[in-house]
Structure formats: structure tokens, C-alpha cells
Amino acid sequence: MVTNHESHYIGGEYRAAHSAETISVINPSTEEAFASIVDGDSSDIDAAVQAADAAGVTWAATPPSERAASLRRLADTYEGRIDEIAALVTRQNGTPISVSRAMQQQIPLYYRYFASLADTLVEEEPLETSIGDALLQRRPVGVVGAITPWNGPQPLLAWKIGPALAAGCTAVIKPAPETSLDAFLFAEIATEAGIPAGVVNVVTGGRETGSALVEHPLVRKIAFTGSTVAGKAIAETCGRDLKRVTLELGGKSAAILLEDVDLDAFKPFVATACSPNTGQICRSLTRVLAPRSRYDEVVDAVSAAMSEIPIGDPTDPANLFGPLVSERQRDRVESYLELGQREGAKVVVGGGRSTANDRGFYIEPTVFRDVTNDMRIAREEIFGPVLVVIAYENEDEAIAIANDSEYGLGGGVFSPDREHATAVARRIVTGTIGVNSASFPTEAPFGGVKNSGMGRELGPSSLEPYLELKTIFRSA
């Protein structure tokens, strides 16, 4: 049975859509449509933006401490629905349920962190200058357009909505078509938590819906996570209209295994850092750089680790890999598997469609060896469970290979010598990088350089893109 969603969430309620166009929501593990959403048009976007703009007057005037309290209630309310949201995300995009639950469990922590930033937000403070005193005022930028991807819909939404609400902004959320249903649940949770009507709105749809949101004159800030191609188009529009924009885009990050790497210690990172969420995470360390003296050993270890990752029905907690999000994505990854072999790389494990299930958009976990950094499989984001192992002669060459990329989102350096690994990490051109670690703290900025984006999310400065500064000069 297909559930038809014929509304958007606007002004604190479900409101009938203007557009009559719909998009099917497909379960990637069964290939069956189980819901449909509205493909929103510019009128739908306008209704949501108008509601957000109207609500912004009161929300911006709400003291930061009260906004912080609202965010904490939001965190508490979300906590009670973690299992429901995790199951829905798994059904929509095939994220293994154990991974989906782990993602959702982080959400309340994010909102509580942004609440703590609201608590310390000073909206006006005196400023001493060389010509007299002044006042420095911080005010919300206005309506925010939050455009989120399908691979981690709720975490990446929290990184945008959390600081926006803390700063006093209102928002219109445009979720990915594949994961729109959980955005409705979030809007319901926000209302239940006492977030005023119109502060959070949801309009579903595809590319044109997102374009209408970016182009709306009342939207003053865009926060986007997605592809580099889409991000550049959004940046161009925002630049023309002088709107603020934060972009978290693609990646082709390197895991540098130093000469003394402990491969038994590294192997668990193959699933958690190199190919998390079936390889559908933009910060994945999909290029494994191995010292030539230990190349075969590294290839064997990485291949064994990939082969041991259980793949299958994403609702089974035992499986860490599920299907890819769509038939189109499976076909795209398949094309890279064929391309890699044409380029001269050798498949060690995997290399085709998985037979774990008789239905679903599954690809075998795949490792390529004999890869050089000029091959397309080493340069382009594949977004699937595909790793390439590249040999290097010395440390300087490893650093040069890692930096020889149009991307700069993540990275990792692995060695028992923490200080040595840190020294190497300092030389990598990227926005974030781990030393023997696959995780990053909420309290530190996250984002990319080069074609991986602009701006930062998380960390103590995450409110700044949502605040305007105003200086009031005063005579004696």
C-alpha cells in the first residue's frame, strides 16, 4: 500500500500543496514504492517562506535563554522517537538499522549543544573604540533555507536548524526526496516541543523546489549539504543575490597508513571510516594510501576487512552494509566498477552487484589494487562501498598524493606514533582530519575546502553564519 502525502508542513500545520506533481518514495531494499510526496512548486515555497518570515518577528525577539530552553525541549522530545525515526530512515534510504539508530542517538546531543551556545549568546555589548564608545549588536539574519541530503538526513538537518534556531532565525526545510518523511516527523516533534508555529516549515520536492527556495527574495541564508555540482549552482545564485551560504559538498578523502601502521588496529576503520553507511558518506576515506614496502600486506588487510562486513537486509541489526539509495545510484557505482578495470586497476574483492538479496539496489563491497592517483576511480566521488589502494614511496609522496585532489573534506592518518601522525595531518589540505580516529567532536568545526565546500558547521562559531553584526557609534 502506498501512502500519499499531499501536504507540506507550513505554519505549524499540514497545509494542502499548491502543486499537483508527486514523487514516489522507494524502499531501496525491496525496490517498491511505499509512499509519495508532493513535488513542491514556487507557490508552495512562497507560502512556507512567508510563514517563516512572519514568525521571525516574535522568534527573533525571544531571549536567547528561552530559545535555548526550546532547543532542550526539542532534544528531549526527539529522544522519545529515536526508534521510530531510525526505522523510517532505514526504510527510505537503506541505511542499516544499527547505523541509523546510532545516527539518531546523536541528535539530542546536537540540539543540547546548540542550546548551550544560545545560552552564551550576547545580543548587544559595549565596544570601546579609538574615537569613543559603541555598541555591537548581533541579530538573526532572517529566514534560512535548509537543504538536506538523503544519506544522513537528521544529523545534517540538526547541524543547520540547531544554530539557526539558537540565533533567532526561522527556517524552511527542503529535504531530499528520498528522505522527506522523517522531515515531517521532525516538524511534528518541533511543534510538540513548543517551537512556535512558522519557525520550522517543511516543503518537499526535487531540484526545482530547491531552486525556488534558494531564489526566494525573503530567504537570507542557505545551508546546503549535497553534491559539488549543486553546491556551485547554489553559490552562484546566492552570490548574485548577496545571500549568505554554507556549503558542505563532496569528498575523496585519503587514509594515509604510515610505515609503522598496525594493520590489526586499522582494520576496524575500514567499515567506520573508509566505507561508513555502505560508502554513502561524503567524508569517507575512500583512498587508502599504503607504503610500497607493505603494499600487498595492506591490500590483503583492507580486502579481508571489506569482505567481513555483513551485507543484506538493512532492517537486520547484524548487517552493517545495506543497499544503495536508488537504482540510479547503483548504476552509477556499477559504471565506476567497470571504469576502474578499464583503467587498469585490479579488483581484489567484489566488483559487481551483490547477490545477498534477490531484490534491492545492492553492490558488493569492492577493493581495487594497482591504482594510481590519476585514475578516475581515485579522483571522482563514487559514493558506494568502493575503496582504492594506492602505493607511495615515501612520506612526502603520500602527502602529495593526498593533496592531489579537487576535494578537501576529510582525511585520516594512522600510526602508533600519535605525534608523528599529527605532524603529517598538519600538512594535509583539508577541512577535517583524524589521527587514528573515525569520529569528530560536536564542539569542533566541520567542513571542507576546495570543491568540498565553504563555511563550517558545528563548533563554537557555528552561530556566526546565522547572525548579522551591527555597530552603533555614539558621541560623548
Residues forming the active site: 248, 282
Q: Quick count: other Cβ atoms within 10 Å of Cβ 240? A: 9
Q: What is the dihedral of CA 340, 341, 346, 352, to 10 degrees?
A: 90
Using H for helix, E for strand and C for coil, what is the string for the chain?
CCEECCEEEECCEEEECCCCCEEEEEECCCCEEEEEEECCCHHHHHHHHHHHHHHHHHHHHCCHHHHHHHHHHHHHHHHCCHHHHHHHHHHHHCCCHHHHHHHHHHHHHHHHHHHHHHHCCCCEEEEEECCEEEEEEEEECCEEEEECCCCCHHHHHHHHHHHHHHHCCEEEEECCHHHCHHHHHHHHHHHHCCCCCCCEEECCCCHHHHHHHHHCCCEEEEEEECCHHHHHHHHHHHHHHCCEEEEECCCCCEEEECCCCCHHHHCCHHHHHHCHHHHCCCCCCCEEEEEHHHHHHHHHHHHHHHHCCCECCCCCCCCCECCCCCHHHHHHHHHHHHHHHHCCCEEEECCCECCCCCCCCCECCEEEEEECCCCHHHHCCCCCCEEEEEEECCHHHHHHHHHCCCCCCCCEEECCCHHHHHHHHCCCCCCCCEECCCCCCCCCCECCCHHHEECCECCCCCCHHHEEEEEEECCC
Which of 172, 402, 130 has the alpha carbon at shortest distance from 287?
402
Would you say 435 and 106 are in contact if contact means Cβ atoms under 8 Å apart? no
Residue type, 306: M
